[in-house]
Amino acid sequence: MTWDRELRIVTEAITTAGAEALRLLSQGFEIHIKPDRSPVTSADLAVNGILQGRLLELFPDDGWLSEESPDDPARLEKARVWVIDPIDGTKAYINREPEFCISVALVERGRPVVAAIFNPSTNELFSARRGGGLLLNDEPGLWQEHQTSRQPVVALSPWEHNIGRFKSLQAHAAGRPMRSIAWALALAASGRIHAVATCEPENEWDVAAGALLIEETGGTMSDGSGQMLEFNRPDPRYRGIVATHPACPGPVRRQLQALSGTSG
């Protein structure tokens, strides 16, 4: 199975949703606080509605897992599940920082097979289907590759960067705080940065699309204990994430492995 139709439909849906996110960014949006004290905007909900309406209309037998939808346990019985973060980096969206993105993945039997991460602010859509390689705006090979002379860069959450949780990396790489782990994973897949690391809990919708993008460029990705990621689980959370581009230098890779308790 090539998943060409699914990728085409995802591309259409995610760009439509991105246009709506930009419209609301310009014209105004509402902010609410969820029970976990994290913010959600009317743009998050609008994007979620566009994606859910389009994808489940065309694929009614698939399951659904989204940050902004009630979790339906029926997804666990589905062979295919859409895993969605309508806006990853909501705080960046609220602050009008161009690092928020929309993340969409189709998971089949625990593995992502179609993925798209769209940054409406920069009009960059990174996408892939399993076995097809990484695309940027539907074209292969147009992303920025690493320069061997450039200092390695590891994306970190702003909070972990501020408290110095990854201070031991300083001898090997520069830490770059980023509010959206999905966008950080897209940049790591493309080669614009070398790695992504966090010890904080992450959800499947944060990382499902990025996991396939990383895989399609030959990178590696695991949870904080070094285990391979599986998706559509009863508890859709991981304790930490470590992802690396193939060009990530050995010292940086080894330091990340040490921090996460992995080896090899």
Residues 126 and 205 in one domain: no
Q: What are phi and psi of 123, to 5 degrees?
A: 55, 45
Looking at residues 74-82, what average pLDDT do you find? 97
Q: What is the pLDDT of residue 263?
A: 41
Which domain, by its residues, includes 8?
Answer: 4-140
Last residue of a domain, one of 106, 140, 174: 140
Q: Are 161 and 110 within one domain?
A: no
Work out the mean pLDDT of the chain and round it to a whole number: 93
The tens digit of pLDDT for each residue in 135-178 reads 999 998 755 555 444 789 999 999 998 998 888 888 889 999 99
- Shortest CA distance to 10 belongs to which of 83, 100, 116? 116
**How many domains does the structure of the chain reveal?**
2
pTM of the prediction? 0.95
| pLDDT at residue 167, rounded to an integer | 87
Distance CA 222, CA 262 (A): 10
Q: Which of 117, 140, 163 is the last residue of a domain?
A: 140
Average pLDDT on 66-78 reads: 96
pLDDT digits (tens, 9 = 90+) for 12-69: 999 999 999 999 999 999 999 999 899 999 999 999 999 999 999 999 999 999 999 9
CB 164 within 8 A of CB 224: no
